[in-house]
């Protein structure tokens, strides 16, 4: 188990690295995180929902993801309320205080333990991940994901600390001292993550930590910028690539309050033709060549906010001025004429007018559709792939607007998805749609700013390579680079001693 001194110390990425390392070394690894809190989720092949981080780790391990890898997913829908996804299916909304009460906790503990037990009968080793801090002593009795899970699994625990944020000695030593004696016996080593500078300067620090804690520092992993693994949280999105760039297609992803599945845009970050930035600044939106409205955990709340802060008006103005506007999942719902919530599932509003860009109406429902899909995009002969995770159905509006409706995608089962008005205005429920080269090439070709054809792009970027960007190959390369980076800076002999019975 890779547990942390706090949140965002790099546990997920390190777990991904070891999933790939063990795969490279001939093992059959699988990831496991008992409880994850994230708006980034993914659909399993069976049509269930798990945290995106565990899907990424499964991909690093070379296996299909499964709900047993993340039996509880908490998806925040407000400041204090989460949707609880249990074994891949929604189990209702829970207030945070109610969720963390002792009553009923053993039922959830039984579910996560059973999921782990099923997983370890199929794979070895299991690469477990903790959540937040290992030493939240006020939550010890109700904790499902850190030391109680490690004790059930009989796991060797590696404590991960982020030296970049400072206070690494206090955070490591303090975390260990706040564990009880039984828990402390399971912690077999320490990883110092995100080190900047000459590692030799920290050699005395390693000795001090080992003397203080009585366990080895098994690695000091340098900070990296040139390895790209999907992030779990959207905290830093607003600081990414602000403003426009000449000579490239400027793509603005609308920074929603409840933004989900922002990994939809990772491929655009890597495409040399594109400058991607996240914003809710009206001036920046109106200067974009392409505006993408992403998914959201609360369509009505975010739609209301877009109307309140003027972003909705700017999106419509940009469309009239010639910009391309597309919506994915909740963004697709917002682009329609109305979003209705007759059962008030998302809040108090029963109806809000949409942006009026697509002739569709959405009705929010209680049933969540979760599935992987294969489809053809418009008239393309290329086979595309993605996944759906949404509550609600979107249908053509009645009346004159109906004549303008045309579906965007044809699914392999013969059904249709999305709505297409013209090359500059369309929406879809399919997450991961931009991972398909045919879709991205079509999207960029709609921009006539001189930076979208391959010949111009190659001149800009100093290359003669006319091949489209292959995101699937790119991801595999990144897992291998990550594994090599971590392997170089940890004591693998100690790691293998930990996992052998």
- pLDDT per residue over 34-61, tens digit each? 999 998 999 999 999 999 999 999 999 9
Coil/strand/helix, residue 109: helix
CA distances from 121 to 114, 116, 126 (A): 11, 9, 10
CATH code for position 313: 3.40.50.880
In a domain, 298, yes or no: yes
Return the percent helix, strand and coil in the chain, to nearest 5. Answer: 40, 25, 35
Name the band, by pLDDT with cuts 50, 70 and 90, for residue 160. very high
Same domain, 279 and 373: yes
Please, are residues 31 and 49 in contact by the beta-carbon 8 Å criterion? no
Does the structure show a pLDDT above 60 at 341? yes
CA distances from 282 to 50, 238, 321 (A): 34, 14, 14
In a domain, 76, yes or no: no
With CA atoms as reference, report the closest residue to 87 among 106, 112, 56: 112
Tokens of 134: 């290992």
**Helix segments in 249-295, DSSP class H:** 266-270, 282-286
Please, are residues 281 and 319 in contact by the beta-carbon 8 Å criterion? no
Coil/strand/helix, residue 476: helix
- β-sheet bridge partners, residue 42: 50
Beta-carbon contacts of residue 261 (< 8 Å; ≥ 6 apart)? 39, 40, 41, 52, 294, 295, 328, 329, 389, 431
Name the band, by pLDDT with cuts 50, 70 and 90, for residue 71. very high
Beta-carbon contacts of residue 219 (< 8 Å; ≥ 6 apart)? 191, 192, 486, 489, 490, 491
- Maximum Cα–Cα distance for the chain, whole Å? 77
Number of domains into which the chain is organized: 2
Residue with tokens 């503990």: 109
In a domain, 92, yes or no: no
Name the residue range of residue 437's domain: 237-469
In a domain, 271, yes or no: yes
Coil/strand/helix, residue 251: strand
Q: What is the pLDDT of residue 230?
A: 84
Same domain, 248 and 197: no
Same domain, 211 and 259: no
In a domain, 185, yes or no: yes
Same domain, 183 and 249: no
Name the band, by pLDDT with cuts 50, 70 and 90, for residue 84. very high
CATH code for position 131: 3.40.50.300
Does the structure show a pLDDT above 90 at 374? yes
Same domain, 181 and 242: no
Distance CA(132)–CA(7), nearest Å, equals: 4
In a domain, 87, yes or no: no
The mean pLDDT value for 335-353 works out to 93
Residue with tokens 């070709």: 445
Tokens of 450: 């001189």
Q: What is the pLDDT of residue 26?
A: 97
- pLDDT per residue over 162-178, tens digit each? 999 999 999 999 999 99
> First CA to last CA across the chain, in angstroms?
15
Does the structure show a pLDDT above 60 at 217? yes
- pLDDT per residue over 427-470, tens digit each? 999 999 999 999 999 999 877 544 444 433 443 344 434 456 78
Distance CA(13)–CA(56), nearest Å, equals: 9
Beta-carbon contacts of residue 103 (< 8 Å; ≥ 6 apart)? none
Distance CA(420)–CA(13), nearest Å, equals: 38
Tokens of 480: 């291998």
Same domain, 54 and 197: yes
Same domain, 144 and 290: no
Tokens of 243: 């403003």
With CA atoms as reference, report the closest residue to 360 among 311, 413, 299: 299
Name the band, by pLDDT with cuts 50, 70 and 90, for residue 243. low
Distance CA(274)–CA(452), nearest Å, equals: 9
Same domain, 259 and 344: yes
Distance CA(224)–CA(201), nearest Å, equals: 18
Same domain, 373 and 424: yes
The angle subtended at Cα 418 by Cα 414 and Cα 424, nearest 5°, is 130
Same domain, 388 and 422: yes
Does the structure show a pLDDT above 80 at 416? yes
In a domain, 344, yes or no: yes
Catalytic residue ranges = 329, 431
Please, are residues 151 and 183 in contact by the beta-carbon 8 Å criterion? yes
Please, are residues 190 and 498 in contact by the beta-carbon 8 Å criterion? no
Beta-carbon contacts of residue 240 (< 8 Å; ≥ 6 apart)? 269, 276, 277, 278
Same domain, 249 and 288: yes
Q: What is the pLDDT of residue 233?
A: 60
Rg, C-alpha atoms of the chain: 24
Q: What is the pLDDT of residue 236?
A: 54
State pTM to two decimals: 0.88
Same domain, 218 and 244: no
In a domain, 94, yes or no: no
Q: What is the pLDDT of residue 425?
A: 95
Please, are residues 111 and 34 in contact by the beta-carbon 8 Å criterion? no
In degrees to the nearest 10, what's the CA dihedral of 71, 75, 76, 81?
-60
The mean pLDDT value for 288-302 works out to 95
Does the structure show a pLDDT above 50 at 94? yes
């Amino acid at each position: 188990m890779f547990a942390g001194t706090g949140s965002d110390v790099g546990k997920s990425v390190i777990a991904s690295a070891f999933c790939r390392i063990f795969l490279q070394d001939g093992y059959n690894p699988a990831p496991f995180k008992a409880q994850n809190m994230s708006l980034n989720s993914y659909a399993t092949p069976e049509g269930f929902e798990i945290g995106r981080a565990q899907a990424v780790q499964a991909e690093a391990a070379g296996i299909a993801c499964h709900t047993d890898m993340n039996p509880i997913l908490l998806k925040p829908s407000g400041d204090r309320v989460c949707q609880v996804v249990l074994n891949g299916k929604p189990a209702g909304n829970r207030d945070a205080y109610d969720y963390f009460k002792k009553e009923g906790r053993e039922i959830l503990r039984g579910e996560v333990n059973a999921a782990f037990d099923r997983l370890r009968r199929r794979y070895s080793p299991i690469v477990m991940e903790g959540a937040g801090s290992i030493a939240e002593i006020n939550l010890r009795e109700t904790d499902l994901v850190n030391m109680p899970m490690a004790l059930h699994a009989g796991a060797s625990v590696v404590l991960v600390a982020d030296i970049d944020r400072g206070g690494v000695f206090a955070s490591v030593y303090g975390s260990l001292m706040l564990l009880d004696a039984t828990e402390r016996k399971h912690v077999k080593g320490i990883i110092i993550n995100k080190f900047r500078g000459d590692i030799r300067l920290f050699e005395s620090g390693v000795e001090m930590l080992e003397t203080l804690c009585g366990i080895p520092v098994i690695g000091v992993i340098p900070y990296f910028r040139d390895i790209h693994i999907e992030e779990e949280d959207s905290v830093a999105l607003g600081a990414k690539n602000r403003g426009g760039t000449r000579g490239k297609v400027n793509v603005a992803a609308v920074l929603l309050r409840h933004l989900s599945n922002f990994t939809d845009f990772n491929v655009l970050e890597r495409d040399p033709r594109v400058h991607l930035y996240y914003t809710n600044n009206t001036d920046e939106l109106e200067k974009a060549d392409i505006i993408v409205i992403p998914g959201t955990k609360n369509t009505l709340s975010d739609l209301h906010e877009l109307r309140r802060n003027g972003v909705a008006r700017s999106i419509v103005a940009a469309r009239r001025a010639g910009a391309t506007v597309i919506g994915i999942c909740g963004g697709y719902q917002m682009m329609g004429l109305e979003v209705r919530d007759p059962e008030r599932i998302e809040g108090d509003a029963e109806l809000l007018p949409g942006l009026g860009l697509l002739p569709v109406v959405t009705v929010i429902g209680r049933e969540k559709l979760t599935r992987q899909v294969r489809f053809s995009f418009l008239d393309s002969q290329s086979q595309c792939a993605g996944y759906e995770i949404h509550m609600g159905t979107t249908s053509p509006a009645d009346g004159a607007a109906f004549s303008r409706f045309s579906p965007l995608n044809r699914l392999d089962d013969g059904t249709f998805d999305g709505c297409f008005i013209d090359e500059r205005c369309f929406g879809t429920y399919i997450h991961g749609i931009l991972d398909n080269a045919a879709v991205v090439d079509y999207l960029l070709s709609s921009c006539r700013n001189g930076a979208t054809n391959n010949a111009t792009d190659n001149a800009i970027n100093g290359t003669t390579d006319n091949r489209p960007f292959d995101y699937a190959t790119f991801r595999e390369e990144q897992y291998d680079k990550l594994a090599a980076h971590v392997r170089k800076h940890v004591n693998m002999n100690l790691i293998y001693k930990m996992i052998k019975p």
